Amino acid sequence: MLLSDIATVVGFDHCLTDPDLRAAYEVDWTGRYRGLSPAVIRPGSVDELSAVLALCHGAGQPVVVQGGNTGMVGGGVPLRGELVVSVGRLGNLQVVSERRVRAGAGATLGRLQQAADSVGAGFGVDTAARDSATIGGMIATNAGGINVVRFGPMGDQLLDAGVVLADGSYLPSLRQTGPDHPAHGLIDLLAGSEGILAVVAHADLTIAPDPAAVAVAMIEVPAARLQSLVAGVGGLPSIYAIELFGGPEVELAASGLGRSAPLSADWLALVECRSDDDPAGALAEVVGDLPAVVATNPSVGRELWLFREALTEGVSRLGIPHKFDVRVPHAGLNDVRASVTAAVPNGTVFVWGHAFSNRDGHPTANLHINIIGEVDDEAVFDVIENLGGSIAAEHGIGTAKRHRADRARDDLAALAEMKRRLDPKRILNPAVLLPDDF
């Protein structure tokens, strides 16, 4: 009955019950998280999304919300038999001004970047998954990406959002939701709420012109120089990105690309600086005598970026990776690889990530530890916590980490309170982020 009512709303072609059609929505792209759903619902408008959620709410039917399905923590797959609500068709994009773009939840990051580019602007969050990752999911996880050192994560780009609540009511502007409404204050919790509070329908995001001159450098960094190099480069006014990886990772990327690795050392730092005048001189001063390949020509710079962007796919070619997205203080960076390797003697460990986790200069990195082989996940989490880090950085808690969520996020009480107000039946992403006892 529920499904036929839903099909009447979205059309039978967008209420997928055939197992073959559902299959791609029931597993995350790494292949690690797999569930089963009675149907995949693909609303084609905000009105349809509202009507679908109203029906689910009436029936007490749990849902998981899915965008580009590029998540890494099992937050978008129906692990408990939920209905999948895919926002993929809500992909509208509208350039509101040279400083503001409105994106439907299902618009990919790549399309948003093109829209910004059409008015000579750039968007502050970027990731290698740009052609699949969608704006709603990126807000839900508060994705940071490669330019987080400059612009902060998704939440810092969010000017406003329109959402649909669990009962199907549509709020076109969270900024204008008055103090008497139960969703008042939701805008401040939305980024990172992982779809448990409301479904993002569309968002207004800030865009701005990128400075014209670019310098990209790949730098060999011995362990003893890592902290000072990262602090020095991170302090440059022109800094746009500082990515870290090491010998095993650059070899992995090089083999996928069919090229040879340009450099190798304890650490490689891939740095991008941008400014209106040439940023290369100031960057060279900080790099000093460290061996480096430097490109001021953007297309040569993009060649260097290939070695970073090939890592996620490269590791997936080796098997289904265990993915640990963690935050580590700079003082602990040099211990990560050895300590994790010691904790997973039967695993092959790859470490890469973003040298900063925000734009405030706080000395913590968002690291992605990817392990192929046999892994005791809890042992890896313990290593990170013993280094003074946190088990979640920019991919979210999802289902993968929610048993340890209380050690990773200090806003659980606020999230739980908002959840009780907005989704008392717990139909939105019920197995995500909040532990069951919250």
Query: What burial letters (b/e) apply to 20-33, b meaning 16+ CB within 10 Å?
Result: eebeebbbbbbebb
Return the sign of the alpha-carbon dihedral for residues 38, 25, 47, 45.
Answer: negative
Among 102, 330, 368, 409, binds ligand MLT (CB under 6 A): 368
Residue 401 binds ligand MLT (CB under 6 A):
no
Tokens, residue 156:
């810092």
Q: List Cα–Cα distances, 288 to 60, 164, 192, in angstroms.
A: 62, 52, 38
Encoded one letter per residue, x for contact with ligand MLT by CB under 6 A and - for no contact, window 223-262 reads ----------------------------------------
What whole-number distance in Å separates Cα of residue 186 and Cα of residue 248? 42
Residue 202 binds ligand MLT (CB under 6 A):
no
Least distance CB 323 / ligand MLT (angstroms):
5
Between 47 and 303, name the residue whose CB sits nearer to ligand MLT: 303
Between 296 and 316, name the residue whose CB sits nearer to ligand MLT: 316
Query: For residue 60, how many other CB atoms are within 10 A of its CB?
Result: 10
Residue 351 CA to chain centroid, in angstroms?
17
What whole-number distance in Å separates Cα of residue 18 and Cα of residue 28? 18
Between 113 and 370, name the residue whose CB sits nearer to ligand MLT: 370
Encoded one letter per residue, x for contact with ligand MLT by CB under 6 A and - for no contact, window 106-135 reads ---------------------xx-------
Least distance CB 233 / ligand MLT (angstroms):
18
Least distance CB 149 / ligand MLT (angstroms):
13
Encoded one letter per residue, x for contact with ligand MLT by CB under 6 A and - for no contact, window 51-90 reads ---------------------x------------------
**Residues numbered 311-330 forming contacts with ligand MLT, rule: CB under 6 A:** 311-312, 323
CA angle 429, 431, 435 (to 5 degrees): 120
Q: Angle at which helices 377-386 and 333-343 pack, to 10 degrees? A: 150
Q: Rule CB under 6 A: which residues touch ligand MLT?
A: 72, 127-128, 311-312, 323, 368, 370
